Amino acid sequence: MIAVATSEDELAGLCDRLRSLGIGSLEVVKPSDTRRVVLGTPDDGRNEVDLVVMLQAEGAMAVTRPDSGAALQAWFRDTRPVVFGGRLSVCQAWSTHDRSGLSGLIELGPGGFGSGRHPTTRQLIQALLTRIEGGERVLDVGCGSGILGLCALKIGAAGVVAVDVKPEAIQAAQRNAQINAMSDRLQATAADLGDIDATFDVVLANIARAGIVELAPELVSRVSPGGWLGVAGISPSQCSQIVDFLRPLEEIERRTSGEWSSLILAKAESWAP
Ligand SMILES: C[S@@+](CC[C@H](N)C(=O)[O-])C[C@H]1O[C@@H](n2cnc3c(N)ncnc32)[C@H](O)[C@@H]1O
């Protein structure tokens, strides 16, 4: 079966397109006031993965989904919305889970790492929840789906620049900004960090040890005096070494969840280059 997320406005056009591809029998699920998810199975046994690849290339938020049984139950379990402390929730746009009662909902289409389930993403979202006060300018390095920047905006940040080395991540972050009505506040770019000529109140980088070490001088220099840097994707044993690479920032928080650690490091108000 395939599942395709859309809006009420685009529902009729999507259904026409799916029928033209030989998916005659369609079920429309309404998981929220605004989200529509269309479910269907190709009548002619056509390969669903190929169909999804084609639909995604056309810009559709399409995924494959198990039809029934234990695989479908597992899929429902694994695609449940992720709730962060009653202020933020993250849900895949193509999920059929009921969104009512979810606070601060961010929806994500397919593409780009970051659904809110991985511990590294969760650690930086928790840091945002405790530290964002409102009005911050945020740099999201290695944005993947754009999840960190979108969460920051949802809880009060003023604007986000999101960078990634992968074109598909830039596309995903741009579309996710659009479906969450945040395109005017999130700029996604493939630019080198060295070409971003600005400093930010908050810099986030969930890019693993090697990426953090490689980009350490740029990460440090992009933090405004009085601002902070959050890094994730490192093991507990790598933390001290990473702190050394990121001097003169000062470690102010360390989170560990199983094999993953994250660090928050602050830049002094009095910092001068
Ligand atoms: C683990 S994912 C993190 C995605 C998302 N920020 C999150 O926290 O879930 C790492 C992302 O960083 C990107 N990346 C890796 N090295 C990078 C670099 N040097 N500059 C920019 N992006 C990078 C990868 O393409 C990938 O999308």
Place of tokens 């259904």: 15
Task: Determine whether the shortest distance from the Cβ of 166 to ligand 1 is under 6 A.
Answer: yes
Ordered strands of the 105-108 beta sheet: 82-84, 88-92, 105-108
Ligand 1 atom nearest 114 alpha carbon: 9
* Confidence class for position 46, pLDDT limits 50, 70, 90: confident
- Residue 86: the pLDDT is 87
Residue 234 and residue 166 in one domain: yes
Q: Does 31 sit in the ligand 1 pocket, CB within 6 Å?
A: no
Q: What is the mean pLDDT of residues 77-95?
A: 94
Nearest residue to 139 via CA among 212, 210, 188, 84 = 188
- Residue 92, classed as helix, strand or coil, is strand
Are residues 96 and 126 located together in one domain of the fold?
no
Number of domain units in the chain: 3
Do 73 and 91 lie in a common domain?
Answer: no
| pLDDT range class, residue 45, cuts 50, 70, 90 | confident
Sign, CA torsion 241/247/251/256: negative
Q: Is the pLDDT of residue 273 over 80?
A: no
State in Å: Cα 217 to ligand 1 middle.
17
pLDDT grade for 105, boundaries at 50, 70 and 90: very high
Q: Which residue puts its alpha carbon closest to atom 9 of ligand 1? A: 114
> Is the preceding omega at residue 248 within 30 degrees of 0, hence cis?
yes
Within this chain, do residues 145 and 163 fall inside the same structural domain, yes or no? Answer: yes
Does any ligand 1 atom lie closer than 6 A to the CB of residue 206?
A: yes
Q: Is 170 near ligand 1, meaning CB less than 6 Å away?
A: no
Mean pLDDT value of segment 219-235: 98
144: left (phi over 0), alpha (psi -120 to 50) or beta: left
Instruction: For residue 272, tell me if it sits in a domain.
Output: no
Residues 244-266 have a mean pLDDT of 97
Give the separation between CA 186 and CA 148, rounded to whole angstroms.
11
Single-letter residue type at 24: G
Q: Which structural domain, as residue segments, surrounds residue 88?
A: 80-108
Alpha carbon distance 114, 233 (integer Å):
12
